[in-house]
Structure 1
Amino acid sequence: MKTKRCNMCGRKLTNPESILRGIGPVCYKKYVRGHRPMKKTTTLSTAAHQQTLL
């Protein structure tokens, strides 16, 4: 199994599920399961993209 790194913190990933997600279990719980921080980031980048289209 090839070891990869978490896209959020850079830690090594060894669990197959984490490798497929591209994010380790700690960061998954911190950023994805809460939804709030990532949703705000997504909303801001979507709004910025829409402004550049105008």
Structure 2
Amino acid sequence: MAGLWVIIALEMISVKKTKGKPAKSWWIQLIIALIITLILGFGRLPLGLHFMS
């Protein structure tokens, strides 16, 4: 779900920018979602960094 949130935030930022509207709230959501996705991907879920060894 966090990865989907990142994609949605990126899409909404691009839509807001093309329409000339402010996208500050979507930037904040993108940063939060990206941090959550990285924490889940590398720290919490199995096979986080194990594929590199």
TM-score of the aligned structures, taking structure 2 as reference length: 0.35
More strand by share: 1
Q: Which one has more relative contact order, counting CA pairs under 8 Å at least 6 apart? A: 2
TM-score of the superposition, structure 1-length normalised? 0.35
- Relative to its length, the structure with more helix (as a share) is 2
